Amino acid sequence: MPGSHTVLALEGRLDVRSAADVRARLHQAVDGGTGDLVLDLSALAAWDATGLGVIMGTHRRAGRLGRRLVLRGVPPQLQRLLVATKLHRILAVEGATGDPCGATLPAGTNQSLPSAVAPLH
């Protein structure tokens, strides 16, 4: 359905310990849905290089399937990391300057995921 999207929320840490589980669940969400996959990071305390790799892998997988990964609620320290690595130019970050999706995404489907991935409330 055009304009549809799925919203997932990450909480806690996205690091080497949680990466495999989170990667599997995000890939499952990408493979099984349509429209944008909106990833709410507002409750994410930290991520490391492995976690950033999970985000980038999900971004690439979504693109191959004609979908888009959109990051929402990116905490300031993670925004700085995206800018420092220049990934803010590649990833869609909701509310970022020049981001066409802004806050205009239509209502979508919230999915409940275990571990470091939680539904948006």
pLDDT tens, 59-85? 999 999 999 999 999 998 888 989 999
Pairing of strands 117-118, 5-14: antiparallel
Higher pLDDT, 58 or 100: 58
Which of 46, 39, 38, 49 is CA-nearest to residue 77? 46
pLDDT tens, 1-40? 456 789 999 999 999 999 999 999 999 999 999 999 999 9
CB atoms within 10 A of CB 86: 8
- 66: alpha, beta or left, given left = phi > 0 and alpha = psi -120 to 50? left
Give the contacts of 22 (CB within 8 A, at least 6 positions apart): 10, 14, 51, 54, 115, 116, 117
